[in-house]
Amino acid sequence: MTDATMTAARWRAAILAAVLIAGGGGYWIGQRGGDEAAPGAASSGSGKVLYYYDPMFPNQKFDKPGKSPFMDMELVPKYADGGAAGMAPAVTIDPSARQSLGIRIVAAAMGNLAATTEVTGTIEFNERDIAIVQARSGGHVERIYRLAPGDVIRAGAPIARSNVKEPAFWTVMMRKNNPVTNGTTSP
């Protein structure tokens, strides 16, 4: 083996070893925390049961446990300490995750917003105002002038040059629709 192939083989072995160590470490860390109860698992609340309620209709209260008449689900007890059996708190975020995400909690207060707002944006043409011109004729198009979408075209500017077999028809139509001649045809 040459020196270059030996070096490449050592690099491959080192990378493979690093991947195996990282994978094994990740597996070990994941399995290490498996003894704790899963969040949302059924837990017995402490204190006196105030009432029972349907999780889908929490405003409806019941005196006895059983099935809900609305959704055919088991009723959940509401305890005096604010907990409910089998119900995790509505929203919980780990403090370290809150710190890394940059979440800040402040009290809501009435106030005024700044009068000016600076935003970025683009101005575009309203594509609903685009007119498709479709003139039927017995000829072919010789040249199309270079126009891009969004170009503003002056009145009377050429768009395309065509070779039409019926020139008299086109002459009459152009003179009739031209605002300069006001619909009059000249000989």
Question: Whole-angstrom Cα distance, residue 33 to residue 42?
Answer: 19
Contact yes or no for 84/77 (Cβ under 8 A): yes
Position 55 pLDDT exceeds 80 = yes
- What is the C-alpha separation between 87 and 44, in angstroms, rounded? 10
pLDDT at 42: 44
Strand segments (E) across 37-137: 49-54, 57-62, 76-79
| 180 or 1, higher pLDDT | 1
Residue 74 pairs in a beta bridge with 67
9 or 131, greater pLDDT: 9
How many whole angstroms separate alpha carbon 75 and alpha carbon 53? 5
Q: Where along the chain do its domains lie? A: 3-31, 49-101, 136-187
The answer on pLDDT for 34 being more than 60 is: no
pLDDT tens-digit readout, 147-172: 887 788 888 888 888 887 765 665 66
**Taking all residues of the chain, what is their mean pLDDT, rounded to a whole number?**
77
Tokens of 86: 């089998």
